[in-house]
């Protein structure tokens, strides 16, 4: 009987192992599909920005992204929203992007250092 009991335990362990492996596989697949969807969305976003912005403006936005990623995300969202509503006349150039940056980031904080 103990031999049969041992066999059942091994069968149960095997079933548990198979179940765990299946769960892990499903989890990896869902992570991969989520990642692919995010990459696709990012590619669409970049393509849209390419259509509505001049190369100089895209370059400036890239520099802003390196220094202040959150600000760059906000700007991109605004530009995409404007483009979807059709509120942009032509492409957004560097000057227009500077104006958007000033509006969103607010007034610059000036620090004056006086030497004596």
pLDDT digit of tens for each residue in the chain (116 aa)?
A: 344 555 668 888 989 999 999 999 988 888 888 999 999 998 998 999 999 999 999 999 999 999 999 989 989 998 899 888 888 788 889 998 898 888 887 755 667 788 87
pLDDT of residue 107: 58
3-state per-residue secondary structure call for the chain:
CHHHHHHHHHHHHHHHHHHHHHHHHHHHHHHHHHHHHHHHHHHHHHHHHHHHECHHHHHHHHHHHHHCHHHHHHHHHHHHHHHHHCCCCCCECHHHHHHHHHHHHCCCCCCCCCCC
Distance between CA atoms of residues 53 and 79, nearest Å: 9
pLDDT of residue 6: 59
């Amino acid at each position: 009987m103990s031999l049969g009991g041992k066999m059942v335990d091994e069968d149960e362990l095997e079933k548990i192992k198979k179940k765990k492996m299946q769960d892990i596989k499903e989890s990896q697949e869902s992570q991969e599909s989520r990642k692919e969807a995010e990459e696709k969305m990012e590619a669409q976003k970049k393509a849209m920005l390419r259509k509505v912005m001049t190369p100089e403006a895209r370059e400036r936005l890239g520099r802003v992204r390196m220094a202040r990623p959150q600000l760059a995300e906000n700007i991109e969202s605004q530009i995409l929203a404007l483009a979807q509503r059709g509120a942009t006349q032509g492409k957004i150039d560097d000057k227009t992007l500077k104006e958007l940056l000033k509006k969103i980031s607010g007034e610059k904080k000036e620090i004056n250092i006086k030497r004596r």
